[in-house]
Amino acid sequence: MAFWTYQVSIGSRHVVVSAPQVGLPPTEPGTPRSGAGEGSAEERSSRPEPLPPPKPTYTLNGIVQGVGSEPFAVINDTIVQLGETIDGATLVALGSGVAKLRRDDDKKEIVLKTTK
């Protein structure tokens, strides 16, 4: 195993430090290391882009319509009223056994149906 040897001055003391060669080769003092630890530009450009996080899934557990009150949905075991948001999606419509959600980052609606 090869070692790098450095002479370090701390105040009036001079110290010699040895360390195993790992990563990038040493540079001249005062020379910045661009992209240290990230590989060469060619290596960085050949790396695949990280995958975006998966979009959440939604389950319509039920719809409750009371007398004299606004209906609400139970989505992913959470009570959600019209206009409220759950996991990045807003409840925009409720019907008979159907709830429509719209995600902030998506133009299309998500239609949920109760299972029987």
The encoded tokens of residue 54 equal 């998966």
The residue that leads in pLDDT, 2 or 37, is 2
Q: What residue type is 3 in one-letter code?
A: F
pLDDT (tens digit per residue) in 28-64: 666 555 544 555 666 666 778 888 888 888 999 988 8
pTM: 0.53
Tokens of 40: 């060469």
46 phi, psi to nearest 5 deg: -90, -10
Q: What is the pLDDT of residues 61-87, one digit of tens each?
A: 988 887 777 889 999 999 999 999 999
The tokens for 61 are 């557990």
Among 84, 88, 91, which Cα is nearest to 106's?
88
Mean pLDDT of 1-7: 70
State the pairing for strand pair 85-86/78-81. unpaired
Query: Residue 81 has what pLDDT?
Result: 92
